[in-house]
Amino acid sequence: MKKISMVLSGMLFLCGVSVANATRGEFDFDRWNGLMVSVRDAAVAQKISDSTIDAALKNPVFIPRIVHSDKNQSEFKLTLSEYLKRTVNNERVKTGRRMAKKYPTLLGKTYAKYGVPKNVILAFWGMESNYGTVKKAYRLKDAFFTLMYDGRREKFFTEQLLALMKNADKNGQNINDIYGSWAGAMGHFQFIPTTLAQYGVDGNGDGKIDIINNISDAMFSTGNYLNKLGWNPNEEIAHRVLIPTDFDSDMLNGDKKYSITQWKSMGVLNADGVPLLDNEAVVGLVGGTGNNDKTNFVISPDNDVEMTTMKVAYLTYPNFYRIKRWNNSNWYAIAIAELSDKLK
């Protein structure tokens, strides 16, 4: 098997392959070219047009920093409080409120059709693309070829590339003009191509589904997706609570579910220190384990003021787990809960 050791900057074209901003290491051109052959064969079998196939396979670019990003996602590096400080900030809340005033009719139509409240749609919009300001980082075909080559989820990213090619065919797009995130997501709400294929909606009736440039398509598609996940507009996502600092950390990942009455018996309090009301609703519990996830809290036992240290956690309801089917991260789902509460 041919391997070439390289130190490159800028862009190099070899064997019909582009390699951008590569670092020292070995690049396997045989594997790269083999991926292109397998993609062509699969695309032909799925009756994707020759023009789209040729465009997709014309000089795809390997981008090492995408592999780096895949291995250094912020949810895996930050404590809960650090993550929330970064994602649910005053500027994001302020912009969300401004967008609520800018699109009241569209948000209202989305709610009427799909049962997803405007504050929830706005929270997803803010988290996914900062309200449409972060949409175009990489050509999506380059992101998919890079991640396919990396090999950690080759089958998954091959499916995404083929779905992207089908979407380009369906909507008369040039695949080389479709940009998105390093992970292969696109548009205002960062759908991956297979999600777009399953849940995409033509929101403005022009016969096309463009979630990158058309906010009506983007919002209706998001409402449809959350509706299909079973979104309950009458149910909260998560309820902020306080727990003892020595609370069993194995109970804080949201997997173990008990009645609210049972959580109360384990020392879980409301965020204001008031005991939980007895309730037989079965919920999970998610919390951080870092030192900065602790908070000093004033309690008044028997009319005496006393300072104690507690940890912040969240009781998690069924909508929380529906969010995790969108993005399987506890931190992300908590951020959606916090941001949507601030945008009510």
Whether residue 181 is contained in a domain is answered as no
In angstroms, the CA 324 to CA 344 distance is 21
What are the backbone dihedrals phi and psi of residue 246, each rounded to the nearest 5 degrees, phi first? Answer: -95, 15
Residue 3 has pLDDT above 50, yes or no: no
Residues 9 and 63 in one domain: yes
Which residues in 4-16 are b (16+ Cβ under 10 Å) and which e?
eeeeeeeeeeeee
Number of domains within the chain: 3
The pLDDT tens digits of the residues spanning 283-319 come to 999 998 766 566 666 555 555 545 578 899 999 999 9
Looking at residue 75, its pLDDT comes to 53
Looking at residue 281, its pLDDT comes to 96
The pLDDT tens digits of the residues spanning 77-112 come to 788 999 999 999 999 999 999 999 999 999 999 999
The pLDDT tens digits of the residues spanning 176-224 come to 999 999 999 999 999 999 999 999 999 999 999 999 999 999 999 999 9
Whether residue 281 is contained in a domain is answered as yes
What domain range includes position 285? 238-316
Whether residue 108 is contained in a domain is answered as yes
Whether residue 178 is contained in a domain is answered as no
Residues 330 and 209 in one domain: yes
Looking at residue 306, its pLDDT comes to 55
Residues 102 and 251 in one domain: no
Residues 9 and 43 in one domain: yes
CA-to-CA separations, 119 to 81, 106, 188, in angstroms, rounded: 22, 13, 15
Q: What is the pTM of this model?
A: 0.87
Q: Are strands 138-139 and 306-316 parallel, antiparallel or unpaired?
A: unpaired
